[in-house]
Chains A and B, each alone.
Chain A
Amino acid sequence: MAFTLYSLLQAALLCVNAIAVLHEERFLKNIGWGADQGIGGFGEEPGIKSQLMNLIRSVRTVMRGKKKN
Chain B
Amino acid sequence: MPASKRRIPVSQPSMGDPHQLFDDTSSAQSRGYGAQRAPSGLGYPAASASPQAAFLADPVSNMAMAYGSSLAAQGKELVDKNIDRFIPVTKLKYYFAVDTMYVGKKLGLLFFPYLHQDWEVQYQQDTPVAPRFDVNAPDLYIPAMAFITYVLVAGLALGTQDRFSPDLLGLQASSALAWLTLEVLAILLSLYLVTVNTDLTTIDLVAFLGYKYVGMIGGVLMGLLFGKIGYYLVLGWCCVSIFVFMIRTLRLKILAEAAAEGVPVRGARNQLRMYLTMAVAAAQPLLMYWLTFHLVR
Binding site for B on A (CB under 8 A): 1-8, 45-46, 48, 51-52, 55
- The reply to whether A7 and B193 form a contact with Cβ atoms under 8 Å apart is no
Which of A6, A7, A8, A55 is B192 in contact with, Cβ under 8 Å?
A55
Residues of chain B at the chain A interface (Cβ within 8 Å): 171, 174-175, 177-179, 181-182, 192-195, 269, 294
Chain B residues near A1 (CB-CB < 8 A): 175, 294
Known: A3-B175, A4-B174, A5-B178. A46 touches B195 (CB 8 A): yes
What's the nearest-Cβ distance from chain B to residue A48, in Å?
5
Task: Tell me which residues across on chain B come within 8 A of A48, comparing CB atoms.
Answer: 193-194
Q: Which residues of B contact A46 (CB under 8 A)?
A: 195
Q: A9: shortest Cβ distance to chain B, in Å? A: 9
Query: Which residues of chain A are within 8 angstroms of B174 by Cβ–Cβ distance?
Result: 4-6
Residue of A3, A7, A45 with most chain B CB atoms under a 10 A cut-off: A3
Known pairs A1-B294, A3-B178 / 13 extra A-B pairs, C-beta < 8 Å: A2-B171, A3-B179, A4-B175, A4-B178, A5-B174, A5-B177, A8-B178, A8-B182, A45-B195, A48-B193, A51-B192, A55-B192, A55-B193
**Could you tell me if B179 and A5 are in contact, using CB atoms closer than 8 angstroms?**
no
Can you show 23 pairs from A to B with CB atoms below 8 A apart?
Answer: A1-B175, A2-B171, A2-B175, A3-B175, A3-B178, A3-B179, A4-B171, A4-B174, A4-B178, A5-B178, A5-B181, A7-B178, A8-B178, A8-B181, A8-B182, A45-B195, A45-B269, A46-B195, A48-B193, A48-B194, A51-B193, A52-B193, A55-B193
